[in-house]
Structure 1
């Protein structure tokens, strides 16, 4: 399921494919954009702008990293998610989209497939008429380890 009907998502498997998407879109393939893509392909987990800037190159500053990530998101290569009250985190768009659950007690984050919530999404659509996505913000609750023993 695409993240949004208003935004084109373009999952790619390699940095070279991402570079080709940038070129097709008419965007420049700068050293900074290439470094950001290298980091996101290497780590494969959501990262903050500061983490990306630190890993990408010593000379890459946070403001230019924000600008480049915004462009990569506009092109459909990157998306951002929010875990709690912290900064937005960025990750590559993928054919195997991940959604997240966040434990409000210990802060654990669990990734899962959108298909795992298909029954819930069908129920919401049937009852209130919304086709929901949980891509931008995580589901929030208590992980098994933090639940009271009588609730497990």
Structure 2
């Protein structure tokens, strides 16, 4: 994700406070972890492994609760990439959709920013009078690194 496409740290903190949530050291650490890893799609387990050195007393349950809260407030977007673990990323400020490329071998997730479905959404509306408000598209295949090992 390009810097500036999500809310900044101060805005997120204000949003928590405005919704009557405390800005605990654990929540601050988890938010900073996402800011420092904004190009990645982190699972709760990923976050836990990244923060456990700074906060050894923070449990995995705290990470799960915090991620659920941040998703509920619309700060993070929760994704299901079919690997049995929810992955999170910042919710974008703009309405531009992006899609995910998921490697079936190593599990790497990357983003594809070109939204080629806008014209399809227009056709759907014209033909079916169905207004699409969101879509989720995942491309499954093999990343460049794994393609070379599979040959």
Q: Structure 2 length as normaliser, TM-score?
A: 0.71
| Structure 1 stretches of 4+ moved >6 Å | none
Provide the rounded CA distance (Å) in 2 between the counterparts of 1:125 and 1:93.
26
Provide the rounded CA distance (Å) in 1 between the counterparts of 2:133 and 2:143.
25
Which residue of the other structure, out of 60, 64, 67, is the alignment partner of 1:66?
A: 64
Report how many residues are paired: 132
Provide the rounded CA distance (Å) in 2 between the counterparts of 1:17 and 1:38.
13
For residues 96-107 of structure 1, the aligned pairs below 5 Å read: 96=94, 99-103=98-102, 105-106=104-105, 107=107
Question: Unpaired segments of 5 or more residues in structure 1?
Answer: 1-10, 146-152
**Aligned Cα RMSD in Å?**
2.6
Question: Unpaired segments of 5 or more residues in structure 2?
Answer: 1-5, 145-151
Pairing 1:112–2:112 present: yes
DSSP-derived class of the 2:22 partner: coil
Q: Structure 1 length as normaliser, TM-score?
A: 0.71
Equivalent in the alignment of 1:30? 24
Equivalent in the alignment of 1:133? 134
